[in-house]
Structure 1
Amino acid sequence: MTNRYRSDIRESDITALADRVSRDTYQKYLRRIRLQKVRAFQDREVSFDFPVTAIVGPNGAGKTTILGAAGLIYKKVPPRRFFAKSGKYDASMQDWRIEYDVTDRSLQRSSTQRTASFRKAKWNRDSLDRDVVIFGVTRTVPASERKELVKALGSKFTAAHEEELSGAVASAAEWVLGKAMTGFSRLSVDNAGKVTLLSASTPGGNYSEFHFGAGEASIIKMIAGIEAASDHSLILIEEIENGLHPVATRRMVEYLLDAAKRKSAQVIFTTHSNEALDPLPDRAIWATYAGEVLQGRLDVRALRTMTGQVDAALAVYVEDSFAEKMVATAFRAQGIRLDGIQIHAMGGEGNARAVNKQRNLDPASTFPSICVLDGDQAHHRSDDDAIYILPGSGAPDSYVFDWIHQNLNSNAARLTAALGVPLARQAEVVDTLNRRKNTNQDRHIIFAQIGEDLGMLPEEYVKQAFLNEWANTDPAAVQFIDDLRPVLTRTELAE
């Protein structure tokens, strides 16, 4: 996780959550769904290999379809919640079908297959019992615009019941929102307690939810709902980032990870936000676009390029974030304009190749794409498929480090200056590289280690210094651009 946001959730907890799914020890768990036919999806499968799953994609890509399909097999989710039918105007729902692999240890067989299908005029489901909690996009509608709160307006309103936030809810909300929750309460607007209004009693005065920020009220109510849910629940959240600052979005996902650990809960949420993906492992992220699904860390910017929502002269799909930096640095060093190029890390060679192929076969694509893979994928090199290979025979970060280390006699002074280290410490830089060459066990973290050794230099800063030196001194960098020059010339990005 060194290449990403550093979560406050321990790596050991992430590993334990993933292991629990692989060992199938949950009482209730949705393992996978097969979208045989539903909206834009035909014969597509989504597996839930981690108990907190993000569905990412541009507008209209099918995120809510997957979310609704996940909940449809459970009795507490009415089909109309996600798949409403309006008479003859929704005839396209005919023959929709979703298949499920589920764990439910209350059954005679804990592992089972179920089906939901739309025949004639209604859904037919082999539905299961499970507590399902849904938070839709309407949760961020301001209190003043919600009809059920009209009776709470005016000076004569008195709540039917007042209850302070529980300790668990208050502490979690404090963590996500970064503010004290002392004095916060829930007011029952109706006698049954089904409609509630938040209130706060603070040294600065008392105020109700009518004066809360929409995101603040949404977070408190979501946390309260999750804490009140029974263990082994399924929690579905639409557009988790709605109304939230990026930091609060990350912290909300971290809270969900903690809830998954404490309550054996399964969470599925949709998002347009890269920040919501930061605390999650790659296996916890599914991207959807144009009827396709891909597992892995695809950011929203890449998906917009894939669907033509971002204009460019050329799209370049690579395996990971280091390869993304490496390609961009090589382009800059050889004078290639980057203003017309979109470079995207795709979370693996399979995703990069699949998306590149789909884009170049799509007659609606307004600009071409190429795929640039790591050195160990040289067997995929193909002019016909627009697949090219980075220098080296393995991981690109390993190649760049080794190139710099092998040429320290000529580049040590330049590298020292590029790192922002005084030239008087050049020998220390050389010693650090020599030591890390021998002691590092994972080249993916070597730049972070070098930064720590030289005085806590930021990892990304160290990477860029190494890449700049590589791109300006390695003949293989020039050859790499020469291999791409026919494509760049055709797209008018190079002479």
Structure 2
Amino acid sequence: MITDLETKASKENYGKYLKRLTLRKLRGFTDREVTFDFPVTALVGPNGGGKTTVLGAAALAYKSVSPGRFFAKSGKYDASMQNWSIEYELIDKEHTPRLSVSRTASFKQLKWNRTALDREVLVFGVERTLPATERSKLKAAVGGSFAAAREVTLDPEVTQHAAKILAKPIEGFRQLFVDTAGKVSLFSGLTPRGDGYSEFHFGAGEASVIRIVAEVEAASPGAMILIEEIENGLHPMATQRMVEYLIGVAHRKSCQVIFTTHSNDALAPLPFKAIWAALQGNVIQGKLDVKALRTITGQIQAKLAIFVEDDFAELMVLTALRSHGGIELDEVKVHAMGGHDPAIKVNTHHNVDPTATYPSICILDGDQAERANPVNGIFTLPGSSYPEAHVLERVLDCLDEEAGRLAVALHLGLHAQERVKKVVTERALTNWDRHTIWEQIGGDLDFTSGHIVKSAFLTTWAQQFPEEVKALVAGIGDKLPLRDGNQS
């Protein structure tokens, strides 16, 4: 499904789609571009970093969203809004069947000026998780004499999807309309014994999920869905299931989704191109998770941050540092960024940030040797190819001598060394993608987890090729924090 959506976005196979926006001047942003290369986009960043600014900028491309929803003006106190400007590149085949459409939104002469397009846009703000008892619009539903103007049983599609997100059945739930115009509503549910209860007795997250799913399922194909802080009121697993649901919506209904989040669980189902970080006037595309953001913004105490391309590179660097010894590992934070470009960009941003309290470096895969620049803190891992391929080849070189230790590291015992040799040798011959070989080897060896296989191979590599470990650490030089009395 994700591959299909990536292809659909790259081929621009949409009737309505926001392709890119450029923040010429908007709050803390100047000349910053965000591209929407996947139809479900996550915006991450620290508080005040600009996530909601980007979300609101996307909304302003369409007439159905009032500028005041995200960018209200408070008299003379908002003079800084003058000359704010956003540029858009959009697909709107009703307007221009074959070409992209360019539009602008700007704030001049004390008002917004837009050349916005028509599109259904759903906006779910943080207020959606307010308990029903605190929502003034529902006061009319309080009291023993209340009767709904209209009652509607939730569609099976709504109950099916909401139940998957919440991990609980919601058959028999209804939407109760408070007013005859149908603009104010609440939900009612049933206990396992069949007793009814209203939204006044729902959990805030439960009501939020049902409301989002009900409105999204009722939306027209091609609609835009904007959600602030998607994890509000949700368990971490429910947050992940909500994002998985929205990916399905993008696939089924050609909808476009943009949400803000502080949760790694919300990022887990997404490809790296679907994630943008907003950082103090800058925007960076890539899988910049919340832990990495906390490191960059100084919320985690450290003496050095290291940005690498992916999870295997992260584990390889940590294995090398641990094997080398003498390094204060608690003071080093290593983060996978989902590619070489995000790793380089985040490293550059961190080192030019005047508020940063410690330096960072970037360690790329060996196939990126031409981009190494030690002066700018950019280094490479050993080898001239993917680190997975390099580690595999190194272990194959010493497999006859080290099969026993490798078997023990794989939690299989010394007696399994011949079997380990056979499996590793065969997989090395038949595997087409070195990124997947660890899971394949693990599957052949009694379903050992891929993480255990990676760790076992990396430990063997570090023990048998200490010169490569030493060269990697020596290349970083004096940037590594050392334990007292140790020298690199």
- What TM-score bracket applies, with the shorter chain setting the length? over 0.9
Corresponding residue to 2:69 among 81, 85, 97: 81
Structure 1 distance, partners of 2:274, 2:91, is: 18
The letter of the residue matching 2:136 is K
Q: Which runs of 4+ in 1 moved over 6 A?
A: 490-493
Which residue in the other structure is 2:475 paired with? 483
Do structure 1's residue 191 and structure 2's residue 180 form an aligned pair?
yes
Structure 1 distance, partners of 2:87, 2:388, is: 41
Q: How much does 1:378 deviate? A: 2.1
Structure 2 distance, partners of 1:374, 1:422, is: 32
Do structure 1's residue 139 and structure 2's residue 128 form an aligned pair?
yes
Q: Alpha carbons of 1:399 and 1:493: their partners in 2 closer, same or farther (altered >3 Å)? A: farther
Decide whether the 8 Å contact of 1:337 with 1:493 is kept in 2: no
Which residue in the other structure is 2:43 paired with? 55
5+ unaligned residues in a row in structure 2: which ranges? none
Which residue in the other structure is 1:96 paired with? 84
Q: Per the alignment, in what secondary structure is the counterpart of residue 53 of structure 1?
A: strand
Q: How much does 1:356 deviate? A: 1.6
Which residue in the other structure is 2:321 paired with? 331
Residues 164-187 of structure 1 deviation map (CA, whole Å, 9 limit, x = unaligned): 111110111011111111111111
Structure 2 distance, partners of 1:179, 1:299, is: 29
Structure 1 distance, partners of 2:215, 2:188, is: 17
Q: How much does 1:214 deviate? A: 0.8
Structure 1 distance, partners of 2:459, 2:473, is: 15
Decide whether the 8 Å contact of 1:64 with 1:238 is kept in 2: yes
Decide whether the 8 Å contact of 2:404 with 2:416 is kept in 1: no
Q: Per the alignment, in what secondary structure is the counterpart of residue 384 of structure 1?
A: helix
Structure 1 distance, partners of 2:482, 2:167, is: 51
Do structure 1's residue 222 and structure 2's residue 212 form an aligned pair?
yes
Residues 57-77 of structure 1 deviation map (CA, whole Å, 9 limit, x = unaligned): 121111111111001021110
Residues 285-344 of structure 1 deviation map (CA, whole Å, 9 limit, x = unaligned): 111111111111111111222222222111111111111111111111122221111111
Do structure 1's residue 150 and structure 2's residue 139 form an aligned pair?
yes
Do structure 1's residue 177 and structure 2's residue 166 form an aligned pair?
yes
Structure 1 distance, partners of 2:94, 2:107, is: 27
5+ unaligned residues in a row in structure 1: which ranges? 1-12
Q: Which moved more, 1:186-195 or 1:61-70?
A: 186-195
Corresponding residue to 1:402 among 393, 401, 414: 393
The letter of the residue matching 1:46 is V
Q: Alpha carbons of 1:105 and 1:375: their partners in 2 closer, same or farther (altered >3 Å)? A: same
The letter of the residue matching 1:30 is L
Residues 122-161 of structure 1 deviation map (CA, whole Å, 9 limit, x = unaligned): 1100011111110001101111111111121222222121
Do structure 1's residue 42 and structure 2's residue 30 form an aligned pair?
yes
Q: Alpha carbons of 1:321 and 1:493: their partners in 2 closer, same or farther (altered >3 Å)? A: farther
Q: Which moved more, 1:83-92 or 1:468-477?
A: 468-477
Structure 2 distance, partners of 1:429, 1:350, is: 37
Q: Per the alignment, in what secondary structure is the counterpart of residue 193 of structure 1?
A: coil
The letter of the residue matching 2:167 is G
Q: Which moved more, 1:201-210 or 1:363-372?
A: 201-210
Structure 1 distance, partners of 2:275, 2:481, is: 36
Do structure 1's residue 246 and structure 2's residue 256 form an aligned pair?
no
Q: For residues 117-132 of structure 1, what are the structure 2 equivalents within 5 Å?
A: 117-132=106-121
The letter of the residue matching 2:427 is R
Decide whether the 8 Å contact of 1:183 with 1:202 is kept in 2: no
Which residue in the other structure is 1:389 paired with? 380
Q: How much does 1:379 deviate? A: 2.5
Structure 2 distance, partners of 1:270, 1:179, is: 26
Which residue in the other structure is 1:270 paired with? 260
Q: Alpha carbons of 1:489 and 1:28: their partners in 2 closer, same or farther (altered >3 Å)? A: closer
Structure 2 distance, partners of 1:382, 1:85, is: 46
Q: Alpha carbons of 1:377 and 1:203: their partners in 2 closer, same or farther (altered >3 Å)? A: closer
Q: Which moved more, 1:149-158 or 1:259-268?
A: 149-158
Q: Per the alignment, in what secondary structure is the counterpart of residue 324 of structure 1?
A: helix
Decide whether the 8 Å contact of 1:74 with 1:130 is kept in 2: yes
Q: How much does 1:468 deviate? A: 1.6
Q: Alpha carbons of 1:493 and 1:371: their partners in 2 closer, same or farther (altered >3 Å)? A: farther
Decide whether the 8 Å contact of 2:284 with 2:346 is kept in 1: no
Residues 257-277 of structure 1 deviation map (CA, whole Å, 9 limit, x = unaligned): 111122111111111111111
Corresponding residue to 2:57 among 51, 60, 69: 69
Structure 1 distance, partners of 2:246, 2:182, is: 25
Q: How much does 1:485 deviate? A: 4.2
Q: For residues 271-286 of structure 1, what are the structure 2 equivalents within 5 Å?
A: 271-286=261-276
Q: How much does 1:31 deviate? A: 0.8
Q: Per the alignment, in what secondary structure is the counterpart of residue 375 of structure 2?
A: coil
The letter of the residue matching 1:136 is G
Which residue in the other structure is 1:315 paired with? 305
The letter of the residue matching 2:444 is D
Percent of aligned pairs with the same residue?
Answer: 54
Q: How high is the TM-score relative to the length of structure 1?
A: 0.95
Corresponding residue to 1:455 among 415, 421, 446: 446
Q: Per the alignment, in what secondary structure is the counterpart of residue 466 of structure 1?
A: helix
Which residue in the other structure is 2:290 paired with? 300
The letter of the residue matching 2:408 is A
Structure 1 distance, partners of 2:486, 2:187, is: 59
Decide whether the 8 Å contact of 1:286 with 1:294 is kept in 2: yes
Decide whether the 8 Å contact of 1:436 with 1:450 is kept in 2: yes
Structure 2 distance, partners of 1:215, 1:358, is: 36
Q: Per the alignment, in what secondary structure is the counterpart of residue 188 of structure 2?
A: strand
Residues 332-387 of structure 1 deviation map (CA, whole Å, 9 limit, x = unaligned): 11222211111111222222222222222223211111111111222333332122
Which residue in the other structure is 2:455 paired with? 464
Structure 2 distance, partners of 1:441, 1:342, is: 32
Q: How much does 1:420 deviate? A: 0.6
User: What is the aligned-residue RMSD (CA, Å)?
Assistant: 1.6
Q: How much does 1:487 deviate? A: 1.8
Q: Alpha carbons of 1:316 and 1:492: their partners in 2 closer, same or farther (altered >3 Å)? A: farther
Do structure 1's residue 414 and structure 2's residue 405 form an aligned pair?
yes
Structure 2 distance, partners of 1:270, 1:219, is: 16
Do structure 1's residue 114 and structure 2's residue 103 form an aligned pair?
yes
Decide whether the 8 Å contact of 2:16 with 2:222 is kept in 1: yes
Decide whether the 8 Å contact of 2:328 with 2:481 is kept in 1: no
Number of corresponding residues? 483
Q: Per the alignment, in what secondary structure is the counterpart of residue 374 of structure 2?
A: coil
Q: How much does 1:83 deviate? A: 0.5
Q: How much does 1:431 deviate? A: 0.3
The letter of the residue matching 1:28 is K
Which residue in the other structure is 2:464 paired with? 473
